[in-house]
């Protein structure tokens, strides 16, 4: 197969932990051809198909110069490759939104895109949990500052976060004393201009914010618990959390098996569920990670699961 990865600049990859790199490596091991481009390389012109400027690359196996470009940059139609993998990291901003529309046009022209562009738009990573409320902790989504204060009175210990944050950015904890709650609301809510999510604090975060992976509707048997370090409340690896791979719990499996087939049927080949204790906290669909950390610590080849599912989806 010819597989096109739409991703961040290749030079920015930290290949010791990059999930897109792990996908590329597994694809190449199986004899597939790996191509790469960035979202800004994708274009459409009337009378033509959706095209991109793509590099055909070969992974060298070296740590530094980890890839080499083969031949000249190609100008190709997206429908001409076997699979397009959308792996651009958040934020899900206007340009990401526009890219999904170009990818959706490519689908209409015959391209096979994973994750499905419409599904990327329909599942904002924090708000997607609302559909599965039976698995979440007490949660409020609002622009109303007073509603946030009332929620704090009811639950005493709460987490506030912006809907467009990533890597733990902009997350605040307010305990029973309510210290700085007003200032935090002002910062996140911007006088009612911006919607915030508020959740009851889950003490189980001390054991980690677990990333549970679902590929092609099937649950990966190991997860990565991102454990907060020092006085930090956030477990995100980007915020200094420590990643510890472990077998998924019966509750993790219950949640993942309930969501997996539903999300897969919507065109989400790869989903990363965030679970704290027994509660679902996020549904990650843009560029779920943790393949390499799980493989390095357990030997479970998550990238192989993914390429298996991709091969099956392309042949379907």
In terms of Cα–Cα distance, which of 274, 68, 262 is closest to 168? 274
**Same domain for 210 and 192:** no
Evaluate whether residue 302 is within a structural domain. Answer: yes
d(C-alpha 107, C-alpha 93), whole Å: 21
Kindly list the distances between the CA atom of residue 178 and the CA atoms of 67, 74, 185, 186, in Å, as whole numbers in the listed order: 51, 57, 11, 14
Domain that holds residue 17: 2-115
d(C-alpha 104, C-alpha 81), whole Å: 15
Least trusted range by pLDDT, from 108-122, 141-155, 210-224, 233-247: 233-247
Kindly list the distances between the CA atom of residue 30 and the CA atoms of 2, 5, 34, 295, 313, in Å, as whole numbers in the listed order: 12, 16, 11, 18, 16
d(C-alpha 172, C-alpha 165), whole Å: 12
Record the pTM: 0.94
**Same domain for 25 and 6:** yes
- How confident is the model at residue 299, as a pLDDT? 98
d(C-alpha 307, C-alpha 281), whole Å: 27
- How confident is the model at residue 91, as a pLDDT? 86
* Maximal C-alpha separation, the chain: 63
| Secondary structure string (H, E, C) spanning 233-245 | CCCCHHHCCEEEE
- Is the pLDDT reported for residue 183 higher than 90? yes
Cβ atoms of 206 and 228 closer than 8 Å: yes
pLDDT tens digit string along 258-315?
Answer: 999 999 999 999 999 999 999 999 999 999 999 999 999 999 999 999 999 999 999 9
Known active-site residue 211:
yes
**Same domain for 238 and 156:** no
Question: Which is catalytic among the residues 25, 116, 200, 211?
Answer: 211
- How confident is the model at residue 167, as a pLDDT? 73
Known active-site residue 126:
yes
What CATH number should be reported for the domain holding residue 192? 3.30.1490.20
**What is the chain's mean pLDDT, rounded?**
95
In terms of Cα–Cα distance, which of 247, 283, 243 is closest to 17? 243
Q: How many domains does the chain have?
A: 3
Cβ atoms of 273 and 214 closer than 8 Å: yes
pLDDT tens digit string along 38-87?
Answer: 999 999 999 999 999 999 999 999 999 999 999 888 899 999 999 999 99
Last residue of a domain, one of 201, 227, 250: 201
- Is the pLDDT reported for residue 128 higher than 90? yes
d(C-alpha 39, C-alpha 91), whole Å: 13
- The beta strands (E) that lie in 107-208 are given as 113-114, 139-142, 158-162, 172-174, 196-200
Evaluate whether residue 67 is within a structural domain. Answer: yes
Evaluate whether residue 269 is within a structural domain. Answer: yes
- How confident is the model at residue 241, as a pLDDT? 87
pLDDT tens digit string along 87-106?
Answer: 999 888 999 999 999 999 99
Q: What is the mean pLDDT of residues 203-222?
A: 96
The share of the chain scoring above pLDDT 70, in percent, equals: 100
Question: Which is catalytic among the residues 116, 161, 200, 210?
Answer: 161
Known active-site residue 93:
no
**Same domain for 214 and 288:** yes
- How confident is the model at residue 231, as a pLDDT? 73
Residues 6+ away with beta carbon under 8 Å from 190: none
Known active-site residue 161:
yes
Last residue of a domain, one of 174, 201, 228: 201
Known active-site residue 232:
no
d(C-alpha 112, C-alpha 47), whole Å: 21
**Same domain for 162 and 212:** no
In terms of Cα–Cα distance, which of 160, 192, 190 is closest to 175? 160
Last residue of a domain, one of 201, 219, 245: 201
Residues 6+ away with beta carbon under 8 Å from 77: 48, 49, 50, 51, 106, 109
**Same domain for 161 and 255:** no
In terms of Cα–Cα distance, which of 44, 55, 151 is closest to 98? 44
Cβ atoms of 82 and 52 closer than 8 Å: no
Question: Which is catalytic among the residues 87, 112, 116, 126?
Answer: 126
Cβ atoms of 57 and 70 closer than 8 Å: yes
Question: Which is catalytic among the residues 234, 236, 252, 293?
Answer: 234
What CATH number should be reported for the domain holding residue 211? 3.30.470.20
Over its C-alpha atoms, the chain yields an Rg (Å, rounded) of 20
- How confident is the model at residue 316, as a pLDDT? 83
**Same domain for 47 and 19:** yes
Evaluate whether residue 59 is within a structural domain. Answer: yes
Structure tokens at 59: 């992974």
In terms of Cα–Cα distance, which of 11, 4, 19, 20 is closest to 67? 11
Known active-site residue 282:
yes
Known active-site residue 175:
no
Specify the residue for token string 């077998």.
Answer: 247
**Same domain for 302 and 250:** yes
**Same domain for 262 and 215:** yes
What 8-state DSSP symbol labels residue 217? T
Evaluate whether residue 128 is within a structural domain. Answer: no
- How confident is the model at residue 73, as a pLDDT? 86
Known active-site residue 116:
no
């Amino acid at each position: 197969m010819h597989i096109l990865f739409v991703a961040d600049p290749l030079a920015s990859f930290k290949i010791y932990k990059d999930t897109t790199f792990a996908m590329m490596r597994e694809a190449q091991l199986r004899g597939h051809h790996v191509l790469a481009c960035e979202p800004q390389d994708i274009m459409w012109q009337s009378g033509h198909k959706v095209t991109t400027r793509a590099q055909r690359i070969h992974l060298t196996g070296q740590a530094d110069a980890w890839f080499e470009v083969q031949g000249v940059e190609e100008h190709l139609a997206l429908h001409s490759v076997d699979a397009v993998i959308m792996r651009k990291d958040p934020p899900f901003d206007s340009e990401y939104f526009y890219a999904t529309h170009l990818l959706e046009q490519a689908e209409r022209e015959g391209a096979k895109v994973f994750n499905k562009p419409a599904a990327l738009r329909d599942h904002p990573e924090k708000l997607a949990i609302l559909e599965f409320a039976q698995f979440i902790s007490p949660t409020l989504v609002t622009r109303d500052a007073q509603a946030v204060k009332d929620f704090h009175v009811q639950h005493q210990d709460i987490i506030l976060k912006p809907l467009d944050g990533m890597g733990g950015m902009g997350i605040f904890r307010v305990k029973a004393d309510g210290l700085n709650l007003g200032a935090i609301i002002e910062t996140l809510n911007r006088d009612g201009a911006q919607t915030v999510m508020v959740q009851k604090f889950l003490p189980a975060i001390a054991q980690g914010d677990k990333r549970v992976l679902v590929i092609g509707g099937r649950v990966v048997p190991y997860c990565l618990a991102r454990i907060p370090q020092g006085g930090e409340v956030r477990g995100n690896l980007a915020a200094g959390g420590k990643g510890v791979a472990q077998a998924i719990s019966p509750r993790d499996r219950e949640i993942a098996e309930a969501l997996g087939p539903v999300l897969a049927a919507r065109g989400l080949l790869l989903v990363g569920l965030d679970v704290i204790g027994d509660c679902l906290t996020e549904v990650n669909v843009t560029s779920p990670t943790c393949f390499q950390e799980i493989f390095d610590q357990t030997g479970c080849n998550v990238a192989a699961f993914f390429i298996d599912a991709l091969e099956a989806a392309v042949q379907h």
